[in-house]
Structure 1
Amino acid sequence: MDIVRLGKFIGALHRRFQTAMNHELALPDINASNANFLLYIGENNRVTAKEITTELAINKGLVSREMTRLEAGGYITRLPDDTDHRITWISVTPQGLTACETIRQIKQSLWDQVLDDTTDADLETVFTQLATWSEKAKQFDQTK
């Protein structure tokens, strides 16, 4: 197997989905990048920017800029921790939850188009393997 091609396929899938999401999204201040951030916040309400950075493998500068955009759009709130001023909690707003539902619907529609002839068993196998590889790849975060 040509492992370089595997990486190419994964990268191309990601970029194509980002492009398609940007075309489909009609929410103010939401793009394909911060849509993923918003989904993560919506699923894990009350998170820190560091958690987002770590879990989504995104640099902290981009996370900070996109949190500012999402907050200005009314999708999230950022509140300092009462006991530790170094921590800022990020929470989704009701408007953010509504946007999350729209984003999920768009993502589902796009994946339905790509996976239309994929069996549930094959999909489960791919999902499990990607999750395993993702966990193993977290070791690269330690080498920074």
Structure 2
Amino acid sequence: MDITKLGKFIGALHRRFQIAMTHDLTLPEINASNANFLLFIGEYAPVTAKQIATELAINKGLVSREMTRLEKAGYITRTPDDTDHRTTWIKTTPAGDQACTTIRQIKQALWDQVLGDTSETDLATIYTHLAAWSEQAKRFDQSK
């Protein structure tokens, strides 16, 4: 097997989903990139910008810009920590929770189209491998 094709397939899937998400999203100030941030916040809130950057492997500057956009649009709030003023906690607002529901529905519909004939057993196996590979790849973050 040509292992370089694995990266090509993963990259192509990601780009095609980003394009489809951009096309299907009609929420104000939400794009395919910050939709993923919003979903992460909705699932793990309260979180910090550093946690978002680390878990999603995204540049901290981009996270900061998108958090400003999402806050101005009313999808998130940022609250300074009372004990450590270097830390700001981020969580979704009710509008952010509604947006998360819409984003999940769009993502589900897209994945249903792609994975329609894939068995639950195969999906579970793929998921397990991808999760493990993602964890193993976190070692690359420490080599910077």
TM-score, normalised to structure 2's length? 0.99
Task: Tell me what 2:138 maps to.
Answer: 138
- 1:97-116: CA deviations, max 9, x gaps? 00000000000000000001
Deviation at 1:45, TM superposition (A): 1.2
Whether 1:34 aligns to 2:34 is yes
- 1:28-72: CA deviations, max 9, x gaps? 000000000000000011100000000000000100000000000
Task: Tell me what 1:116 maps to.
Answer: 116
Whether 1:96 aligns to 2:96 is yes
**CA RMSD, 1 decimal:** 0.4
Give, in whole Å, the separation in 2 of the partners of 1:15 and 1:5. Answer: 15
Deviating runs (4+, > 6 A) in structure 1? none
Structure 2 runs not aligned, ≥5 long: none
Whether 1:84 aligns to 2:84 is yes
Task: Tell me what 1:4 maps to.
Answer: 4
Whether 1:57 aligns to 2:35 is no
Deviation at 1:94, TM superposition (A): 0.3
Structure 1 runs not aligned, ≥5 long: none
Give, in whole Å, the separation in 2 of the partners of 1:44 and 1:7. Answer: 28
Give, in whole Å, the separation in 2 of the partners of 1:118 and 1:79. Answer: 43
1:77 aligns to what SS in structure 2?
Answer: strand
**1:126 aligned partner, one-letter code:** I
**1:76 aligned partner, one-letter code:** I
Give, in whole Å, the separation in 2 of the partners of 1:88 and 1:126. Answer: 35
Give, in whole Å, the separation in 1 of the partners of 2:81 and 2:118. Answer: 46
Whether 1:69 aligns to 2:65 is no
2:47 aligns to what SS in structure 1?
Answer: coil
Give, in whole Å, the separation in 2 of the partners of 1:122 and 1:55. Answer: 25
1:101 aligns to what SS in structure 2?
Answer: helix
% identity of equivalent residues: 75
2:79 aligns to what SS in structure 1?
Answer: strand
- Equivalent pairs counted in the alignment come to 144
